Structure 1
Amino acid sequence: MTTHGTAAHGAPGRGAQAPGPCAATLRHHGDAEVRGAGAALTDLAVNVRTGTPPAWLKERLAASLDSLAAYPDSGPARRAVAARHGLAEEQVLLTAGAAEAFVLLARALTALRPVVVHPQFTEPEAALRDAGHQVRRVLLRPERAFRLEPGDVPEEADLVVVGNPTNPTSVLHPAAGLARLARTGRTLVVDEAFVDAVPGERASLVPLLDELPGRTVVLRSLTKTWGLAGLRVGYALSDPDTVRALAHHQPLWPVSAPALTAAQACSAPEALAEAEAAAHRFTRDRAHLLQRLATLRSAGVREATPDPRGPFLLVGHPRAATVRARLRELGFAVRRGDTFPGLGTGWFRMAVRDRETTDRFTAALGEVLESLPADR
């Protein structure tokens, strides 16, 4: 695999080589850090909002079980999602989570020179590889706070995948900058799985969807804000031709009736208001977390970006692998960073939680950091 762009370990340059996780490691996700642990660990490894799904959504899902004898009808949910974004119904494709959308894109679209911007969620590259694509990477540098410049992406790329806000770096790329990546002959895929955790969904590319040249696909997920990882529901937004091309690769009835109920319910005005309120809570809770982490900088802790906007933080420390292991002994699970291309063992990701959880975590982190010199 050829690595292209700004290598995380060196100066920017085309054709630069950089080590990266193998195909199997690309399938490692945060849930692996807590699977089977039960209540023994405080989960900071998975970015699902705590206290979800809310009671009203559980009630809607429970009521949908009475319709399980009938085949799912995606029409009402598609229309609700379309209305929520001010798009035509033909521009919406409901999927079994955003992960299915990556598989559909890899199978349905012809791409001779696909590029994935890293560090980011690894499923897009894994899906492209599985479909036989030779993937090139643009690796963003920590010295530049993992920010993307349009010139980082090679002109010849005919498929570009980028997350916004990016998992795991928590960088929110300006919509205007991402729009400059769109051009005739190129498919621009923007993974906005976490943008509803940003107040006002700022920097979303959806308002520009019908204006950009080439083909643009925006992916959304209900997993994180609504606590529906087990239900598998998300959607793709694009032009009608692209939606039809992706749908052609789906099986019949790909999204279950309860998942369709969730998509419709979470597109309602009252649900959007709840999501917006949650986004503002994330902002306040993240600020508190940053304040607490700032007291540990003298012990080698650093944040990946000075202006994080996602409901998670990427944190660096020279001995992050040891720190993770010690935190686990103290009852806290964080997400390892070395499975993300462009990162190494010196990073871990943690979800933003309430202030009480943050205080307990940072106290444990301080205890771990104080213990490290004895091991040197």
Structure 2
Amino acid sequence: MNDDRATSTRSETPEAILHGGDLHAVSGRYPDAPQPWIDLSTGINAVPYPVPEIPPSAWQRLPAKSEERILLTAAAARYRVASRDTIVAAPGTQALLQSLPRLRPRSTVAVLAPTYEEHALCWRRCGHQVHLVDDADALAHADIAVVVNPNNPTGRLLPRDVLVRLAAAQRRRDGLLIVDEAFVDLYPANASLAADLPPATIVLRSFGKVYGLAGVRLGFAISSADIATRLRGELGPWAVSGPALAVGTAALADDAWLAQTGARLARDGQRIEALLENAGCAVIGITPLFRLIASPIAAGIADRLACHGIHVRRFPAQPTWLRFGLPSHEGDWERLAQALGSSS
């Protein structure tokens, strides 16, 4: 690929991407909305893991290699990975998204879309030629194939055998398959590739989503040992803070909390579906942490909710879509039901 072509590809994508969680900007547009706002715009668990006591030393000194190894051991057990040497800890999955394009020469990249837009943006910024495709078969024609599985925001889940075949095709062409599993934690174990990683594959796992601690900034890449070594080099020393190492280690080892959270989210998911359907919204995408709806009056619904101090995720490229996270407590459920004009 020549430089002119790469530059042209980068210019096609805006540098700013709309994400959920922009509550300050939204509240400024609706100054008369009741307080406090209820933020349902992200796919982050609204009932977070209870943060354990963090020793003062975690704040006062640089993180120790031994502490990182303990975290990686906990991550390996949680994700059923045989060797912690194949896991890389990073200050959030976003840091990994921005590092991965620097590991490869300029390439063709296919992203299964619509999906989390930062994937395409990060590869374009580094001069790669990016194509958005809507069919998994089209991924095999690119040097780098990117899949978010389960997908954000549609909830699409590609079967394991489809991904394994795609990984084999990428290996034959000296390519790479990247599977972002940010929302897979509460799915059956065989929904993840992490435990039995195909060749030429990198799996990304998010900590902040299911544990409700996005501010900790912690994520993981699971790959071959050689790719893991290169990723660590890109991230540099002390990539993960001492407090994040402590919180992540405790949370990843807590089987009981994760099981209880899964059961609660299953109940809450059924509850929000009933609310949305009673309000005339068609639920078209599902994960344990959010519901995606389609409605010809989606913009009006979002405005009405905002007037009630409730923020949901809009999609400028898909104006009939809205994504709803799950409320955290009964008062929020009642307020959402009232705003939707539906009984709780």
Task: Sort the TM-score into its range (normalised by shorter chain).
Answer: 0.7 to 0.9
Q: Which of the residues 271, 281, 288 maps onto 1:288?
A: 271
Q: Which of the residues 263, 276, 282 maps onto 2:259?
A: 276
- Which residue is 1:120 aligned to? 115
Structure 1 residues 175 and 352, CA, compared in 2 at 3 Å: closer, same or farther?
A: farther
Secondary structure in 2 matching 1:120: coil
Contact between 2:112 and 2:139, CA under 8 Å: does it hold in 1?
no
* Equivalence map 1:207-286=2 (5 Å): 207-209=195-197, 212-213=198-199, 215-268=200-253, 271-286=254-269
For 1:25 and 1:322, how far apart are their aligned partners in 2?
A: 24
Q: CA deviation at 1:197?
A: 3.2
Any stretches of 5+ residues in structure 2 without a counterpart?
1-11, 28-33
- Which residue is 2:52 aligned to? 58
Q: CA deviation at 1:322?
A: 2.4
Secondary structure in 2 matching 1:276: helix
Q: CA deviation at 1:128?
A: 0.9
For 1:240 and 1:191, how far apart are their aligned partners in 2?
A: 18
Secondary structure in 1 matching 2:55: helix
Contact between 2:148 and 2:180, CA under 8 Å: does it hold in 1?
yes
Q: Which of the residues 127, 131, 141 maps onto 1:132?
A: 127
* Equivalence map 1:190-205=2 (5 Å): 190-198=179-187, 200-205=188-193
* Paired AA for residue 310 in structure 2: F
Contact between 1:165 and 1:310, CA under 8 Å: does it hold in 2?
no
Q: CA deviation at 1:127?
A: 1.2
Give the number of aligned pairs: 317
Q: TM-score, normalised by structure 1?
A: 0.77
CA-to-partner distance for each residue in 1:277-322, whole Å, 9 max, x for gaps? 212221121112212222233xxx21224xx233101111112122
Contact between 1:46 and 1:335, CA under 8 Å: does it hold in 2?
yes
Contact between 1:197 and 1:311, CA under 8 Å: does it hold in 2?
no
For 2:257 and 2:63, how far apart are their aligned partners in 1?
A: 30
CA-to-partner distance for each residue in 1:60-99, whole Å, 9 max, x for gaps? xx22545622443222222222233232121010001000
For 1:303 and 1:256, how far apart are their aligned partners in 2?
A: 39
For 2:61 and 2:299, how far apart are their aligned partners in 1?
A: 49
Which deviates more, 253-262 or 97-106?
Answer: 253-262
- Which residue is 2:178 aligned to? 189
Q: Which of the residues 316, 319, 326 maps onto 2:304?
A: 326
- Which residue is 2:31 aligned to? none
Structure 1 residues 25 and 348, CA, compared in 2 at 3 Å: closer, same or farther?
A: farther
Q: Percent identity?
A: 31
For 2:94 and 2:255, how far apart are their aligned partners in 1?
A: 23
**Is 1:311 aligned to residue 282 of structure 2?**
no
Q: TM-score, normalised by structure 2?
A: 0.84
Secondary structure in 1 matching 2:52: helix
Q: Which of the residues 290, 305, 325 maps onto 1:351?
A: 325
Contact between 1:34 and 1:45, CA under 8 Å: does it hold in 2?
no
Any stretches of 5+ residues in structure 1 without a counterpart?
1-20, 140-148, 368-376
* Paired AA for residue 176 in structure 2: T
Contact between 2:97 and 2:122, CA under 8 Å: does it hold in 1?
yes
Q: CA deviation at 1:167?
A: 1.1
Structure 1 residues 95 and 169, CA, compared in 2 at 3 Å: closer, same or farther?
A: same
Secondary structure in 1 matching 2:129: coil
Structure 1 residues 319 and 76, CA, compared in 2 at 3 Å: closer, same or farther?
A: same
For 2:192 and 2:150, how far apart are their aligned partners in 1?
A: 9
CA-to-partner distance for each residue in 1:225-260, whole Å, 9 max, x for gaps? 222222211110111011112122112211111111
Secondary structure in 2 matching 1:58: coil
- Which residue is 1:144 aligned to? none
Contact between 2:46 and 2:326, CA under 8 Å: does it hold in 1?
no
